[in-house]
Each structure stands twice: as structure tokens, then as C-alpha cells.
Amino acid sequence: MRLLLIFALLTVFLQSCTDCINSNAPRYEVNRDISSFTVLQSNTLKLYIDLYQGKEQDLIVKGTENALINLQTSVTSDILTIENTACKESPTKLFSDVYIDEALQTIILENNEQLNAQTDISLNDLSFILSNTASATIEKLNVSSLTATAHDNASLQLGSGKSARVSNLTFNNNATCNAAGFITDTLYCTISDSSIVTIGVSQYIKANIQGDAKLYYRGNPTIVSESGSSSIIKID
């Protein structure tokens, strides 16, 4: 398959034994026969990717020799898992770089896992499932449809200058979304339990705001409020 012109770099910071790490170790490269996707940058023990296509394609992993020995990839029901199997109890971080050539569909992060993407990401559809203080930061995202579910102090941050045609957000139990510079044409959202969402909207908002939750928006959209209209607040 033809590689995309723009690659995203995934740095998977995976836990490992102290003796598995050598900052001066040479870098190695291996090919893995796993369905491909556009990758990001992650600080996590395990990264789950719901594959955009189930076809087998090339995935390139770069890291130290020991890192590659212990880095496992698998596909189950079109979900790609990248996991380090060595000494997970150690807090030491292990670096591995992954390059892929296609589009991902779903990112699942949980239990303090962190993802940070700084390159341009252009996709048709992208979903986030974030829980238990997990966080995802995407600096440059341009999608047709964005779906995000976050709870239990999870957070999503989207950089400025990019957009989505439709966004569906469900945030509860103190989850946050900081996307003031991100513009979506249409926003459907359910926000509850002191969660806070900040986002730019150009055309239409349909919102269900419950409890102490807040929706802060930029732009001049038409607003339909199912509940909590006083908690829908325009910002400059």
C-alpha cells in the first residue's frame, strides 16, 4: 500500500526492567505484519487501536534490541494492541518508535495513559475512549467525524487551526475537553458530573448539560438545549 505523504510518529513509552534500558544502545528496525494505521505519540504501557481496515499491512517498529524483543503486537477483532511484556512492575520507561501508513479509527486510553500527537492527523472518522485520568493531546487534527467519550478525570486536548464537520462528545465524572481553538461545524454533546468542555462551534449545538457540568463555546452557532441551558456559555 502506498505510504501516506504525511507520517505521524508514535513514541510508545512502555514500562520495562531497568536492565532492559541502555540509553547508548544502537537502534534497530523490524517489520511486523500488522494492519496499518496512522500513529501518534503515546506514554502508555499498552496502546489499543481499533483498526480502520482489517487487512494485513506493514508496521515498522524501531527501538533498542531488547525493546524489540519484548514489544508485542497483536490483532484481535480488528483491535491492534502494542504492549511491552518485560517487567511491567518497574517504573522505568522504554522508548520505541512505530511508523504506519494508514488511518486509525479508535484510540482507547485508560489508567493514567497519555497520548501526545504533534504532527498533522487527517482522517475521515476518529473516536476516543478515555477513562481513569487518561489524557490525549492532538495538536493538529482534521477529521470529518469526531467522537469522544471520557470519564473519571480523563482529558482531551485539541490544538487550534484544525476542524471536524461533526463532533459527538460524552463527558462525565470530572472529564475535561480543551479545544477552544478547534472548530467543529456541528456539536452534539452530553456533559455531566462537573465535567467541562471548551470548543469552537461554527453552525449548530445540541447539548444536554447535567449537574455542575459546563459547556464553553466559541463562535455563533444555533443552540438547542435539552437541559442545562444556563451552563452553555459563550467565550471570546
Question: Per-residue confidence of the chain (236 residues) as pLDDT tens digits?
Answer: 222 222 333 333 333 333 333 334 444 444 444 443 333 444 444 444 444 333 333 444 545 555 555 556 665 555 556 555 554 444 444 444 444 444 567 777 877 777 777 666 777 788 888 999 888 888 888 888 999 999 999 999 998 767 889 999 999 999 999 999 899 999 999 999 999 999 999 999 999 999 999 999 999 999 999 999 999 999 98
Q: Residue with C-alpha cell 496499518?
A: 36
Interacting residues of 9 by C-beta distance below 8 A, sequence separation 6+: 39, 40, 41, 97, 99, 119
Task: Quote the pLDDT of residue 143.
Answer: 85
Quote the CA–CA distance of 1 and 132 in Å, as a whole number. Answer: 37
- The answer to whether the beta carbons of residues 61 and 32 sit under 8 Å apart is yes
pLDDT of res. 76: 57
Q: Which three cell numbers stand for residue 205?
A: 449545538
Concatenating the DSSP letter of every residue in 33-65 gives E--------EE-SEEEEEES--S--EEEEEE-H
Q: Which residues contact 213 (CB under 8 A, 6 or more apart)?
A: 171, 172, 191, 192, 193, 194, 195, 196, 197, 228, 231
Tell me the C-alpha distance between 52 and 38, whole Å: 10
| Residues 180, 170: Cα–Cα separation, whole Å | 17
Write out the CATH class of domain 104-236: mainly beta
pLDDT of residue 137: 85
pTM of the model: 0.66
DSSP string, 198-233: EEEEEEEEEEEE-TT-EEEEES--EEEEEE-GGGEE
Other C-beta atoms closer than 10 Å to the C-beta of 150 total 28
DSSP one-letter code for 27:
P
AA letter at 158: L
Residue-level pLDDT at 35: 41
Q: Where are the domains of the chain?
A: 8-19+26-102, 104-236
